[in-house]
Amino acid sequence: MIQVAKIIVDVPTMQTNSPYSYLIPKQLTNELQVGMRVVVPFGNGNRKVQGFVVQIGMEEVDADQLKSIESLMDLEPVLNTELIQLSRWLADTTFSFQITCLLTMLPNVMRAKYSKQLKIVDDQMSEEQLADILPSTQWQDFETDTLSPLQQSELSKLRKQGKIEIVYRVKNQAQTKQIFQIKSHINAEQESGIVDSLRKNATKMRDLVHFLANQSKIVSQTTLEKKLAISSATIKAGEAKGWLVRKKVEQYRDPYKEFKGKTTPLTLNQEQQTALDEISQSIEKSQAKTFLLEGVTGSGKTEVYLQTIAYALAKGKTAIMLVPEIALTPQMVTRVKGRFGKQVAVLHSGLSDGEKFDEWRRIKRHEAQVVVGARSAIFAPIENVGVIIIDEEHETSYKQDDAPRYHARNVAQWRSKFYNCPLVLGSATPSLESRARSERQVYQLLRLPNRINGHPLPKVQIIDMREELQTGADQNFSQPLLNAIDKRLNMQQQSILMLNRRGYSSFIMCRDCGFVLKCPNCDISLTLHMDSRSMKCHYCGHEEPIPKQCPNCHSRKIRYYGTGTEKVEQELKTKFPSARILRMDVDTTRRKGAHERILRQFGERRADILLGTQMIAKGLDFPNVTLVGVLNADTALELPDFRSSERTFQLLTQVSGRAGRADKLGEVFVQTFNPDHYAIQLAKTQNYENFFRKEMYIRHQGKYPPYYFTLQITAANKEEKMAAQKMFAVLKELRPQLSADAIVLGPTPKPIARVKNKYYYQIVIKYKHEPNLHTAVTKILQESQSYYRQGIQLSIDAEPQSFM
């Protein structure tokens, strides 16, 4: 029996869910702990990889058979036992590898960077000889698969002859920010003596001495440099003379350093109070219970969340609150930070890697007790959790598209059980899955059926664009909507307009031959963008100049069709020359802080109209907004997805909810070509309960979730035939494991069959109870490693949120 460390290694092409055993070097026996990252040798040669220690224990093995840990990457564990346990569950339930899960839980900077270098180890070999095969500029970090077959064989020959070696290094990217602090070592009495000893023209030195002689507090070096306009060389010279000491200290990169503003708890109304009491009781009794807080838009759900968090904190516990990425900046942060100040850590994609790393460490060191963040914040290393809240729980962004394909709601449930604390799911339009569970008493339903302001929900008018177009109206604006905008401008009230398509035109087509300009890499048409004067692919980012003539028949009759936010902005400017318009879409919010700036401007009433894509639909709370216009309600309805009605209803209800949230009444116009569709008709009354019943009936008929589970398996390859063949082979292996009740759709190409030059084929399995499915799919996952070498990527998605 010897002591070994069980380690999950980071080898992308040889993944497995079982850890490897390594020997622990003598010097490290007392140091090594579960949850640390280490560098270990792996495979043949001297390849080094990052690994995670998941267990330390005795094992019946021959020490000669094992390799030994090379070095530690951390001096303390980066993962606690809870998170290691969670990663195992996550890998199992999302059909992914544990290493992928571990890396997902940590800030990006904790992913190791690998470097490899060619090194000559034989005196007989000259650098020129090697450079003949591979230019010396490529000796560092070369990619073997980009080399020519000849280069590959030459290099491997040299290696076999022992003339060259490939040296691997694992680099830790996690860097803290260090600053110098300065403490004076001289006093006022010493000043004149020192100054006399200086040369006459040493004015900078004199300034420094004067400052130090009269300063007893510690200052940072950068402050001092700025204040006295001196260089770091002057300060170092002062240090050498013993006038001061410099000390290196760590400083957090705080994204909300400048944050000010404090909010106090509001007096809750009866319904809010009842909801708070129910949840608080669960915190008090340490119950792992899930609540569904169904509250209409503007019913004050956020205030319930905040007071729930306050309750958990008062009990000496911590809290996690998830919000959709978009909602995070900036209104939600203001609300939570305003209530809990420095106790809050914020995690979202708008932060730099360094900022995220520092916020993560504040949580880990128990310096923050409240975590607010987007999806991945559910993995925050917070302990002693008292409550977990997921706002807008129906949002698709809570499901990750890449491996591990997890849903934050499921992870939250796991952690809620681990800590015996309640989980609160909040929404005005809950997902059908969650609402159905509350129907079966799996979740406890709490309702806020009324708006805080006591007003009814805004009145919604559906406008039939087919009729409007017949009367010769505008493509984008119906007359009633134009009138309503005009009225708001006259009354100095604000409007929000939503169009779910960015760019100028959705596609361009030749009127002579019908040619449509498509992306060379994907099966979709290119979108015209006027601000960059180019055609762009919204899937892969491909960009090319706007053609002046048809690339197919050379006709000049090339025309723009469809519309986007850019074009609508231009039209608005022509129609309402005096209106101040803000446009918010992916193109105007690319730069850091742009999102916040636009919303701040709108909140300060420095604009009359906010025009945007669906990123403006959620969470915004502006009291002066009394009009909401949806320019085209049909975009989501057209998608080939069984959730398209649900998405449409949710989006319309959410965006309608932005109007009339304070003392003034709100009004909504929804323009559509499908005025009779039930999702649109029911959004008119914003009656979620009716929508729920109708949609449940349809899902039952179609055998879809929440009545059936779904599992999607996709194969991707540069060649369509390869992707299709693999999917047929997978199905052949899987089908015998399934009962006759399981329904298999496909193999079929995905609705967008080609993206970034890869073809996608899929099968979807719908099932109720399949005891063999999990094992069979896990086996397919393990086998997928071997096709990976043939360039076939296989992905498995349990409960996919999108079938595109």
Ligand X SMILES: Nc1ncnc2c1ncn2[C@@H]1O[C@H](COP(=O)(O)OP(=O)(O)OP(=O)(O)O)[C@@H](O)[C@H]1O
Q: Where are the beta strands (DSSP E) in 287-413?
A: 290-295, 318-322, 344-347, 370-373, 385-390
Task: Kindly state the tokens that stand for 327.
Answer: 């909602």
Tell me: does residue 303 bind ligand X (CB under 6 A). Answer: yes
Q: What is the dihedral of CA 122, 128, 133, 136, to 10 degrees?
A: 100
Tell me: does residue 452 bind ligand X (CB under 6 A). Answer: yes
Tell me: does residue 265 bind ligand X (CB under 6 A). Answer: no
Judged by CB under 6 A, the residue of 268, 288, 310, 744 near ligand X is 268
Tell me: does residue 509 bind Zn ion (CB under 5 A). Answer: no
Judged by CB under 5 A, the residue of 519, 713, 723, 764 near Zn ion is 519
As a whole number of angstroms, the distance between CA 514 and CA 86 comes to 54
Tell me: does residue 381 bind ligand X (CB under 6 A). Answer: no
Residue 333 binds which entry of Zn ion, ligand X, none, with Cβ cut-offs from 5 to 8 Å by kind? none
Judged by CB under 5 A, the residue of 539, 560, 708, 767 near Zn ion is 539
Stretch that binds ligand X, among 13-21, 267-275, 479-487, 505-513 (CB under 6 A): 267-275
Between 275 and 715, name the residue whose CB sits nearer to ligand X: 275
Nearest approach, Cβ of 503 to Zn ion (angstroms)? 14
- Under rule CB under 6 A, which residues in 412-431 are in contact with ligand X? 428
As a whole number of angstroms, the distance between CA 10 and CA 519 comes to 35
Q: Decide: 525 and 505 in contact? Cβ < 8 Å.
A: no
Stretch that binds Zn ion, among 243-251, 414-422, 548-556, 710-718 (CB under 5 A): 548-556
Nearest approach, Cβ of 724 to Zn ion (angstroms)? 21
Q: Where are the alpha helices (DSSP H) in 106-144?
A: 127-133
Tell me: does residue 269 bind Zn ion (CB under 5 A). Answer: no
Residue 621 binds which entry of ligand X, Zn ion, none, with Cβ cut-offs from 5 to 8 Å by kind? ligand X
Stretch that binds Zn ion, among 57-65, 321-329, 529-537, 732-740 (CB under 5 A): 529-537
Burial class from Cβ neighbours inside 10 Å (0-12, 13-18, 19+) for residue 283 reads buried
Residue 266 binds which entry of ligand X, Zn ion, none, with Cβ cut-offs from 5 to 8 Å by kind? ligand X
Residue identified by tokens 């949002």 is 395
Strand 743-755 relative to strand 758-767: parallel, antiparallel, unpaired? antiparallel
Residue 298 binds which entry of ligand X, Zn ion, none, with Cβ cut-offs from 5 to 8 Å by kind? ligand X
Tell me: does residue 748 bind ligand X (CB under 6 A). Answer: no
Stretch that binds ligand X, among 61-69, 79-87, 260-268, 348-356 (CB under 6 A): 260-268
Q: What is the dihedral of CA 208, 210, 214, 215, to 10 degrees?
A: -10
- Under rule CB under 6 A, which residues in 109-128 are in contact with ligand X? none
- Under rule CB under 6 A, which residues in 553-612 are in contact with ligand X? none
As a whole number of angstroms, the distance between CA 735 and CA 757 comes to 30
**Chain mean position to CA 601:** 25
SS3 letters for 70-115?
CEECCCCCCCCHHHHHHHHHHHHHCCCCHHHHHHHHCCHHHCCEEE
Tell me: does residue 552 bind Zn ion (CB under 5 A). Answer: yes
Judged by CB under 6 A, the residue of 15, 299, 624, 626 near ligand X is 299
Q: How many CA atoms lie within 13 A of 495 on its CB side?
A: 30
Q: Decide: 712 and 800 in contact? Cβ < 8 Å.
A: yes
As a whole number of angstroms, the distance between CA 785 and CA 782 comes to 6
Tell me: does residue 339 bind ligand X (CB under 6 A). Answer: no
As a whole number of angstroms, the distance between CA 713 and CA 727 comes to 8
Site size for ligand X (CB under 6 A): 19
As a whole number of angstroms, the distance between CA 403 and CA 785 comes to 14
Nearest approach, Cβ of 542 to ligand X (angstroms)? 36
Stretch that binds Zn ion, among 29-37, 316-324, 510-518, 528-536 (CB under 5 A): 510-518
Between 510 and 724, name the residue whose CB sits nearer to Zn ion: 510
Between 451 and 488, name the residue whose CB sits nearer to ligand X: 451
Nearest approach, Cβ of 633 to ligand X (angstroms)? 19
Burial class from Cβ neighbours inside 10 Å (0-12, 13-18, 19+) for residue 295 reads buried
As a whole number of angstroms, the distance between CA 509 and CA 132 comes to 51
As a whole number of angstroms, the distance between CA 281 and CA 287 comes to 9
Residue 269 binds which entry of ligand X, Zn ion, none, with Cβ cut-offs from 5 to 8 Å by kind? ligand X
Judged by CB under 5 A, the residue of 20, 114, 515, 787 near Zn ion is 515
Stretch that binds ligand X, among 268-276, 572-580, 722-730, 748-756 (CB under 6 A): 268-276
- Residue 330 preceded by cis peptide, ω within 30: yes
Residue 300 binds which entry of ligand X, Zn ion, none, with Cβ cut-offs from 5 to 8 Å by kind? ligand X
Q: Where are the beta strands (DSSP E) in 330-411?
A: 344-347, 370-373, 385-390
Q: What is the CA angle 259-262-266, rounded to 5?
A: 145
Judged by CB under 5 A, the residue of 344, 425, 537, 742 near Zn ion is 537
Stretch that binds Zn ion, among 1-9, 292-300, 547-555, 590-598 (CB under 5 A): 547-555
Stretch that binds ligand X, among 3-11, 85-93, 297-305, 529-537 (CB under 6 A): 297-305
Q: Decide: 370 and 344 in contact? Cβ < 8 Å.
A: yes
Rg (CA), the chain: 31
Between 419 and 691, name the residue whose CB sits nearer to ligand X: 691
Tell me: does residue 537 bind ligand X (CB under 6 A). Answer: no
Judged by CB under 5 A, the residue of 447, 542, 575, 684 near Zn ion is 542
Nearest approach, Cβ of 793 to Zn ion (angstroms)? 18
The closest of 111, 107, 115, 28 to 75, measured between CA atoms, is 28
Q: Check whether 421 is labelled as a binding-site residue.
A: no
Burial class from Cβ neighbours inside 10 Å (0-12, 13-18, 19+) for residue 541 reads exposed
Between 154 and 720, name the residue whose CB sits nearer to Zn ion: 720
As a whole number of angstroms, the distance between CA 78 and CA 38 comes to 11
Residue 515 binds which entry of Zn ion, ligand X, none, with Cβ cut-offs from 5 to 8 Å by kind? Zn ion
Residue 657 binds which entry of ligand X, Zn ion, none, with Cβ cut-offs from 5 to 8 Å by kind? ligand X
Q: Check whether 101 is labelled as a binding-site residue.
A: no
Tell me: does residue 713 bind Zn ion (CB under 5 A). Answer: no
Beta-bridge partner residues of 629: 497, 669
Beta-bridge partner residues of 762: 714, 748
Point out the annotated binding site: 510, 513, 519, 522, 537, 540, 550, 553
Q: Which residues bind Zn ion (CB under 5 A)?
A: 510, 512-513, 515, 519, 521-522, 537, 539-540, 542, 550, 552-553, 555
Q: Which residues bind ligand X (CB under 6 A)?
A: 266-269, 272, 295, 297-303, 428, 452, 619, 621, 657, 661
Point out the annotated binding site for Zn(2+): 510, 513, 519, 522, 537, 540, 550, 553
